[in-house]
């Protein structure tokens, strides 16, 4: 049993479509994932070591989206401090280690997404798309401008919201899945998953 709630399961569950993902692009230069040293960020390094299967599943979904023509994959959430930036850093590390999508880049929420030419795939910490209250389609469309696919992030203490996925689908944005993160206020702390 892991006592550190961060180690316990940053990626406690990765919820997504049950259909098989599109075929991944062929690996580069020899094909096997490269042995990348763990990142210098100790939180990201711990999370990568604790739940490698979840990171691999998420990386496969992003690779499949890029292979299918989706150039910009957003990591979007509900509130501040839920782990979007950490998720982007960890996922970028896993994608680079897999070596199947060379040349991708990461962007921050403040980067000019829509105006940036997407000559290569990108992963973006897209910020808060679903603040408390009703979903406002116009505000969501502006926030998601330029994105073709998204991974949603929510704290484990928050219930899933099918309306978020439905709203993105009306805008033509594919939801690759949802990552559930733990927070200090989560009553499941200390419980092994």
Q: Report the first-to-last Cα separation within the chain, whole angstroms.
A: 9
pLDDT in tens, 42-67: 888 888 888 899 999 999 999 999 99
In the predicted model, is pLDDT for residue 141 greater than 90? yes
Q: What pLDDT score was predicted for residue 185? A: 44
Least confident of 19-23, 30-34, 156-160: 19-23
In the predicted model, is pLDDT for residue 125 greater than 60? yes
Instruction: Over range 81-98, report the average pLDDT.
Output: 91
The whole-angstrom separation of Cα 111 and Cα 92 is 17
| Secondary structure element (H or E) that encloses residue 67, with its range | helix 52-67
Q: Among the CATH numbers 2.60.40, 1.20.120, 2.60.120, 3.40.50, which is that of 5-16+39-181?
A: 3.40.50
The whole-angstrom separation of Cα 38 and Cα 41 is 8
The total number of residues shown for the chain amounts to: 193
| pTM score of the predicted model | 0.74
In the predicted model, is pLDDT for residue 183 greater than 80? no
């Amino acid at each position: 049993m892991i006592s550190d709630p961060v180690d316990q399961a940053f990626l406690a569950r990765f919820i997504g479509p049950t259909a098989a993902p599109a075929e991944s692009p062929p690996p580069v230069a020899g094909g096997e994932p490269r042995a990348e040293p763990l990142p210098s960020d100790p939180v990201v390094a711990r999370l990568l070591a604790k739940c490698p299967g979840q990171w691999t599943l998420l990386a496969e979904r992003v690779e499949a989206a890029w292979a299918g023509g989706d150039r910009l994959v957003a990591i979007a959430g509900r509130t501040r401090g839920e782990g979007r930036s950490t998720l982007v850093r960890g996922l970028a590390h896993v994608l680079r280690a897999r070596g199947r999508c060379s040349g991708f880049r990461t962007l921050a929420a403040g980067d000019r997404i829509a105006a940036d030419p997407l000559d290569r795939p990108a992963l973006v910490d897209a910020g808060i798309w679903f603040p408390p209250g009703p979903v406002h389609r116009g505000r969501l469309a502006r926030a998601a401008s330029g994105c073709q696919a998204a991974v949603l992030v929510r704290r484990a203490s928050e219930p899933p919201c099918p309306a978020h996925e439905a709203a993105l689908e009306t805008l033509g944005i594919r939801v690759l899945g949802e990552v559930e993160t733990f927070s200090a206020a989560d009553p499941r702390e200390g419980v092994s998953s």
